[in-house]
Amino acid sequence: MKFSDIVTAVKGNKPKTLAVAMAEDSDVLEAVVHAKAEGLANPILVGAKAEIEKIAKEARLDLSGMDIVDEPNHTAAVRKAVMLVGEGKADVLMKGLVHTADFLRGVLNKEWGLATGRTISMVGIVDSPKYNRLIFITDPAIATYPDLPMKVDLINNAARVALALGVDKPKVACLCAVETVNPKMQATLDAAALAKMGDRGQFRNCVVDGPFALDNALSQSAAKHKGLVSPVAGLADILLCHNIETSNSLYKSVTYLSDCETAGMVLGAKAPLVITSRADTAKVKFNSIACALLAAGK
């Protein structure tokens, strides 16, 4: 499945409601207007109404048919957007012009937030012209230095995303600098432990193996050249990175150094979250909305 297939799949469903916290951003509004025009979502924009309408007018964006909840205070706007999802009035929550930490603080609020007790993590989604499948990268934004138990959660969250987007039994590659276990390299020890857990059926909906270097995780010829025999070798759908530096750099490198399209979403809350960088284009934000809408309710 590619991003175009995801958009088509979402079009085939009844439009869901998208709540946007602090919608005063031109790229966010462009993506939301695009999603509305394509029949993907019914947006609710939360933020300073006058500023939202001003930005839309300057960018020649039509907000007709969209509800705007006037709330200029950042904290209150996040709360209102979060509560729309918590009360069942919206299916997906999107971050607008607000810092990720402030946004997540609202999502995880114990009184009115969307916390479930599960680990919150981000999955970067890559649509590369080189491959006939989507590639999922975790975690480029939230989990900084995950230990083994947290890596289990990251795999499970990424697998949920992949399954929701049409991947049957996603293959997970635990990325390291080498393909062999080295006692001096913690990443390889974690990869080996995760692979053994996979062998014993501790991951129900995905196949996990490692350690893998990036080349032999994605390239069958590279895996064959190094003599790697595994159902994951060269066919990985999900790339589990050892830390945020690796994951963030990998995700941003495909954004800025290639012709790949990207998207991102966060799992672990009561509903899918669209958390994109303020530097991301309207296209990235639109892709992310489409992915989150398809994942909602699955």
DSSP strand pairing (261-267 vs 121-127): antiparallel
**Count of Cβ atoms closer than 10 Å to residue 165 Cβ:** 25
Residue closest to 194 by CA, chosen among 169, 176, 219: 176
Q: What is the pLDDT of residues 147-180, one digit of tens each?
A: 999 999 999 999 999 999 999 999 999 999 999 9
Give kind and range of the element (H or E) at residue 160: helix 148-164
* Confidence bin at 62 (pLDDT 50/70/90): very high
- Residue 253 per-residue DSSP state: H
Reply yes or no on whether the pLDDT at 142 is more than 90: yes
Q: What is the pLDDT of residue 283?
A: 95
The domain ranges of the chain are 3-116+269-295, 121-256
In contact, 83 and 114? CB cutoff 8 Å: no
Residue closest to 298 by CA, chosen among 175, 113, 164, 142: 164
Q: What is the pLDDT of residue 278?
A: 81
* Confidence bin at 1 (pLDDT 50/70/90): confident
Average pLDDT over residues 33-45: 96
Q: What is the pLDDT of residues 214-248, one digit of tens each?
A: 999 999 999 999 999 999 999 999 999 999 999 99
Q: What is the pLDDT of residues 119-139, one digit of tens each?
A: 999 999 999 999 999 999 999
Task: Give 15-58 as a DSSP string.
Answer: PEEEEEES---HHHHHHHHHHHHTTSEEEEEEE-HHHHHHHHHH
Reply yes or no on whether the pLDDT at 7 is more than 80: yes
Q: What is the pLDDT of residues 92-111, one digit of tens each?
A: 999 999 999 999 999 999 99
Average pLDDT over residues 249-275: 94
Percent of the chain scoring above 90 in pLDDT? 94
In sequence order, which residues have a C-beta less than 8 Å from that of residue 56 and are 6 or more positions away? Answer: 29, 33, 62, 63
Q: What is the pLDDT of residue 298?
A: 64
Task: Indicate the pTM of the whole model.
Answer: 0.94
Reply yes or no on whether the pLDDT at 297 is more than 80: no
Q: What is the pLDDT of residue 277?
A: 85
Length of the chain: 298
In contact, 290 and 40? CB cutoff 8 Å: yes
In sequence order, which residues have a C-beta less than 8 Å from that of residue 36 and are 6 or more positions away? Answer: 42, 43, 65, 66
Average pLDDT over residues 294-298: 83
* Confidence bin at 49 (pLDDT 50/70/90): very high
Q: Cα dist. 56→33, 67, 124, 253 in Å?
A: 10, 14, 28, 31
| CATH fit for domain 3-116+269-295, picks 3.40.50.10950, 3.90.25.10, 3.40.50.300, 3.40.50.2030 | 3.40.50.10950
Exposure class string for 94-105: b at 16+ Cβ within 10 A, else e = bbbbbebeebbe
CATH class of 121-256: alpha beta
In the block, which residue shows the tokens 């590659």?
Answer: 173
In sequence order, which residues have a C-beta less than 8 Å from that of residue 217 and are 6 or more positions away? Answer: 173, 175, 223, 232, 233, 234, 236, 239
The 3-state secondary structure of 190-247, one letter per residue? HHHHHHHHHHCCCCCCCEEEEEECHHHHHCHHHHHHCCCCCCCCCCCCEEECCCHHHH
> In a 10 Å sphere around its CB, with 0-12 CB exposed, 13-18 middle and 19+ buried, how is residue 179 labelled?
buried
Average pLDDT over residues 4-22: 94
Could you tell me the end-to-end alpha-carbon distance of the chain, in angstroms, rounded to an integer? 17
